[in-house]
Amino acid sequence: MKEVKSSVIELTKMMSDQEKFAFLNISKSSIIGLNKKSEKSFPAEISKEILKSINLSGPRIMKSVSYDFGLEIQDDKHSSIGLKKSNKYYSPNLFEYYLQNNKPVFDSIVEFFIKNTSNVVVSLHDKKRVGNILGIRYNIINVSYHTLYKRFEETYNEIAKYNGKAQYCLLDCSSLGLALASRIWENLDMSIIDLGKALNFTKEYSLVAKNERR
């Protein structure tokens, strides 16, 4: 698995190329949700879409997994669903990492690549938080935890309205983002960037910083 620095270099190169790409976040919780016996198992149609996304392939598909989850993949524990150890995987949580450890890099990525590009955002956070962190004030699709998967088709249809208008679809919506990825990739002309928990992290980071100043 590629380390965070080489991962962000490859991601920003993809962003610079002006060609369609996807940066997917495959979390352990997404895999657990595929188990029908799990207390938090996904609806069948969501599981089907997540499996499609996991199995997307090609030179412009970047799949990120956590370090511990990557070790499980290397042990062939998830090869049956398409997570083979022979595949290339990238470090997740790039945005959180640089926000915490090298904020100028985080700010540069947002300022140069995100603010200056046409976007549609799917987020669990309100428009104010999205605007404050990403500098995006428009084309924001808010989703709720309570109806996250029930509104899958409706959410995809909202994204589709921006086809040909938005260059990036920025996903800040937990495992729903992974479920949406294959549908977006196969049908729409826009790149996909899963932000992971960056907007959650920035909220926590702000609270810590505020407390430290007291």
Digit-coded pLDDT (tens) for 123-160: 999 999 999 888 899 999 999 989 999 999 999 999 99
Answer whether residue 7 is part of any domain: no
Looking at the 3D structure of the chain, how many domains does it have? 1
Answer whether residue 13 is part of any domain: no
Q: What pLDDT was estimated at residue 171?
A: 96
Q: What pLDDT was estimated at residue 207?
A: 39
Answer whether residue 12 is part of any domain: no
Kindly state the average pLDDT of the residues 181-198.
Answer: 95
Kindly state the average pLDDT of the residues 179-205.
Answer: 86
Answer whether residue 66 is part of any domain: yes
Answer whether residue 4 is part of any domain: no
What band does 65 get if pLDDT is binned at 50, 70 and 90? very high
The span from the first CA to the last CA of the chain, in angstroms, equals 40
Arithmetic mean of pLDDT over the chain: 89
Cβ–Cβ under 8 Å, residues 160 and 120 = no
Q: Which residue has the tokens 């109806």?
A: 147
* Strand-pair partners of 122: 141, 171
Cβ–Cβ under 8 Å, residues 95 and 109 = yes
Enumerate residues 6+ apart whose C-beta is below 8 A from 202. Answer: 99, 129, 133
Kindly state the average pLDDT of the residues 82-101.
Answer: 87
> For residue 168, what are the domain limits?
19-213
Per-position b or e across 175-214, b if 16+ CB within 10 A of its CB: bbbbbbbbbbbeebebbbbbbbbbbbbbeeeeeeeeeeee
Answer whether residue 2 is part of any domain: no
Q: What pLDDT was estimated at residue 197?
A: 84
pLDDT at residue 211 above 50?
Answer: no
Answer whether residue 92 is part of any domain: yes
* Strand-pair partners of 22: 61, 192
pLDDT-above-90 percentage for the chain: 70
Q: What pLDDT was estimated at residue 202?
A: 55
Q: With CA atoms as reference, report the closest residue to 91 among 201, 207, 11.
A: 11
Tens-digit pLDDT profile for residues 1-51: 678 889 999 999 999 998 999 999 999 999 999 998 888 899 999 999 999
Answer whether residue 10 is part of any domain: no
Say which amino acid occupies 44.
A
